[in-house]
Structure 1
Amino acid sequence: MIRVQYFICINLIAQYLIESGNMAEIILVHGIDQQFKSAQALKAEWLPKLSQGLRAAGYGELADQVWKGTGKPPAITVEMAFYGDQFIIKNQQGAAPGELSAEQVDLMEGLATEWLINIANRSSNSTMKAEAVRLSALIEPRYEEVQGLRSLARGVVANLAKVPGVATVGMAFAERAVNTSLSQVSRYLTDVGVRDFAMASIEKLVTEDTKVIIAHSLGSVVAYEAMHRLNQKIPLLITIGSPLGFRSVIYEKLKPQPPSFPKNLKKWVNIADPNDYVAAQPDLSQDFAKGIPQDSIFEGNQVVNNDIDPHSAEKYLASSKVGLYLAEAFNANLSY
């Protein structure tokens, strides 16, 4: 009887650890505009796509282990690091420039400008490209016309919201949606409390069992900075749709400075769709080449085609390229 109770107790403890995320082999990190969701809701959205990417890469059994929890060996544990609720502002659906500091508004203006220029230079959508070219040409003259940083920030954000396809909501709410996205990036970079909470959401999930961290959009910034604080060595970091390389807005605000390859990381793969204007550029190789350990690998220039939704986390996860790198981490036993 005692022996039976012992094994029941062990199984209950193991189940608790899995459900609480303390044994996560794969850690997922979301990006902007997830403030009204939850870790479990996002995980439920991402897992089928992650499984799809593994199947596309030819790893059906591994796909079942990740999503359905079936197959042999047993289920692979996956957890979502969630920090989106840190951006919720009481009695408000976003953050307008007036509620932000001058530094935060400055960052919003700079990022909006970078996004416009990215669309103008890289978009394969002729309608988006033409409008972005037209609107980006207005930035400098507008700077001379307005008085004060806050007016300029609102002007650039409004112009960005006019580009077809930038906001997924109707035009009546487009500026609010873009404004919310930009404000979340600026708040992460300037608010110590938000920044620490976001990094801690990853750090608390990391154990010796962790093999892969997959981070999207702003989440890639959070994951990159968390990697520099971790004592735990991580076999693989996959960043998708990453804005890490925006020089004047994000790159120069990263911690620590100057930006470098995290010393406790075995392999870093950056994947981007060339049409993804939120991603600084498809290739991060030069920006983070400093300090790569002799036995570490950096593939900073992997490209995918996400079709009409280039920044979609789900599109990235469903790609065979993400599936191949994820399978490598498990099948090749990529570790120190």
Structure 2
Amino acid sequence: MQSRLVFVHGIGGLRDPARELAAWTQALAVGMREAGHSAAARDLVSEGSGEQVFVHYADLFGRGQGQGGDVPGAVGEAGVEMEGEILSDLLVAWVDGLAAEHSDEWHRQILDHARAEARPRAQEQGSLAVVRRALNVATTLLALKPWGGTAQWITPKLMVSHLRQVTRYLARSDLDAQGISLDLRIRSRVAEAIGDGPAIVVAHSLGSVVALETLHQLSSPIPLFVTLGSPIATRTVVWPRLLPQPPGVPDGVGEWLNFWDRDDVIALRPHLERELRPSAGGVIPISRRVDSDGTWVHDAEKYLAQPAVAGPIAQALARMAGGASGCGGSR
């Protein structure tokens, strides 16, 4: 059967899907070659060798995301309050995660200041106050410069705009003209890309949350589910808001590999197998650490170029091409 590979991106601005698909595919081919799968790498970038899809949903967050804009739909007072609560929780969890990685006095002082800014204030009123607090935290964190000059976040406004994508997705509001919530609109795009399956799904960052929830809604066989830099198990923010509850592995998934980098500031609780219930078939996530070079390791292409990530994907594609059923994959 023809292989089908579905990529799901994370937070960030508007993208050119064709350009992103080429970049992600090329990065994955690099990792495949380093893992000893040169033929698979060659096939991956050859026309007609299989179907690769890049699911783009950043446009659903509103126009101007690339410039830090934020144009919501019909959110409602309850939705606004929920977004503010989630953003507050996200800021605190993120600062606490960074603090666990830095013990020297200079970093500790900055992070202590950021933590104080991140925590909600009793007199705080409205979502704008939460956003102002988030901007203050972002300004402080950018002083740490853990992301370097090549990071996607250049200004506090852009950082907060992108982080608010997480809050807007998890708030389950932001209705369109037909009354469909933002998170449902995003998942529908992923579901359409996966189709009836089988498909290998590779999801990065917020995309791992989107893909997980989508797979629970589908009966499509997924021989391999790969998550990169995932925030799924962030206990105070993402984990308690996942659908369905309690969080678990979708029954259609044959194998789930979760990759994290020690220096990835987004993957705060990387060992998903400790946090999610197994599927009906007994499948659990298997978390594996990788180590990338540079100051900003959360980038999807860095993960994809890792042999430890690319090798299992090459093997799964080969099994699909050979007609393997997929579910109940190798351990």
TM-score between the two structures when normalised by the length of structure 2: 0.81
2:294 aligned with 1:311: no
User: Hey, what does 2:267 align to over in structure 1?
Assistant: 279
Letter in 2 for 1:103: M
Partners of 1:210 and 1:234 within 8 A in 2: yes
User: Hey, what does 2:27 align to over in structure 1?
Assistant: 49
Q: Provide the secondary structure at the position in 2 that maps to 1:260.
A: coil
2:164 aligned with 1:183: yes
2:62 aligned with 1:88: yes
User: Hey, what does 2:124 align to over in structure 1?
Assistant: 147
Q: Provide the secondary structure at the position in 2 that maps to 1:131.
A: helix
User: Hey, what does 2:177 align to over in structure 1?
Assistant: none
Partners of 1:24 and 1:209 within 8 A in 2: no
Partners of 1:202 and 1:223 within 8 A in 2: yes
Task: Give the alignment's Cα RMSD to 1 decimal.
Answer: 2.9
In 1, distance between residues paired with 2:243 and 2:184?
Answer: 12
Corresponding residue to 1:65 among 25, 38, 43: 43
2:213 aligned with 1:230: no
Unaligned runs of 5+ in 1: 1-22
Residue 169 to residue 238, structure 1, CA distance change in 2 (3 Å): closer
User: Hey, what does 1:335 align to over in structure 2?
Assistant: 326
User: Hey, what does 2:313 align to over in structure 1?
Assistant: 326
In 1, distance between residues paired with 2:54 and 2:247?
Answer: 25
Letter in 1 for 2:70: A
- The superposition leaves residues 202-230 of structure 1 with CA deviations (integer Å, 9 ceiling, x where unpaired) of 21122455331000011001100000001
Residue 44 to residue 113, structure 1, CA distance change in 2 (3 Å): same
Q: Provide the secondary structure at the position in 2 that maps to 1:303.
A: strand
Q: Provide the secondary structure at the position in 2 that maps to 1:271.
A: strand
Corresponding residue to 1:77 among 42, 47, 51: 51
Residue 295 to residue 118, structure 1, CA distance change in 2 (3 Å): closer
Q: Provide the secondary structure at the position in 1 that maps to 2:185.
A: helix
- The superposition leaves residues 113-136 of structure 1 with CA deviations (integer Å, 9 ceiling, x where unpaired) of 211111111259997666324422
User: Hey, what does 1:259 align to over in structure 2?
Assistant: 247
User: Hey, what does 1:4 align to over in structure 2?
Assistant: none
In 2, distance between residues paired with 1:130 and 1:334?
Answer: 54
| TM superposition shift of 1:193 | 2.7
Q: Provide the secondary structure at the position in 1 that maps to 2:202.
A: strand
In 1, distance between residues paired with 2:249 and 2:189?
Answer: 21
Letter in 2 for 1:53: G
Q: Which has the larger displacement, 24-33 or 116-125?
A: 116-125
Partners of 1:214 and 1:238 within 8 A in 2: yes
Corresponding residue to 2:4 among 13, 21, 25: 25
Q: Matched residues, percent identical?
A: 25
Letter in 2 for 1:304: V
- The superposition leaves residues 132-166 of structure 1 with CA deviations (integer Å, 9 ceiling, x where unpaired) of 244225545x735x533542442244223322336
Residue 169 to residue 49, structure 1, CA distance change in 2 (3 Å): closer
Partners of 1:244 and 1:250 within 8 A in 2: yes
Alignment of 1:174-213 (within 5 A): 174-190=155-171, 191=173, 193-207=181-195, 210-213=198-201
Partners of 1:96 and 1:180 within 8 A in 2: no
Partners of 2:9 and 2:203 within 8 A in 1: yes
Q: Which has the larger displacement, 57-66 or 173-182?
A: 173-182
Letter in 2 for 1:231: S
In 1, distance between residues paired with 2:6 and 2:36?
Answer: 22
TM-score between the two structures when normalised by the length of structure 1: 0.80
Q: Which has the larger displacement, 245-254 or 120-129?
A: 120-129
Equivalent residue pairs, number: 303
2:75 aligned with 1:102: no
Q: Which has the larger displacement, 246-255 or 117-126?
A: 117-126
Partners of 2:11 and 2:206 within 8 A in 1: yes
Q: Which has the larger displacement, 212-221 or 113-122?
A: 113-122
In 2, distance between residues paired with 1:96 and 1:86?
Answer: 10
2:94 aligned with 1:111: no
Alignment of 1:10-21 (within 5 A): none
In 1, distance between residues paired with 2:227 and 2:97?
Answer: 19
Q: Which runs of 4+ in 1 moved over 6 A?
A: 124-127
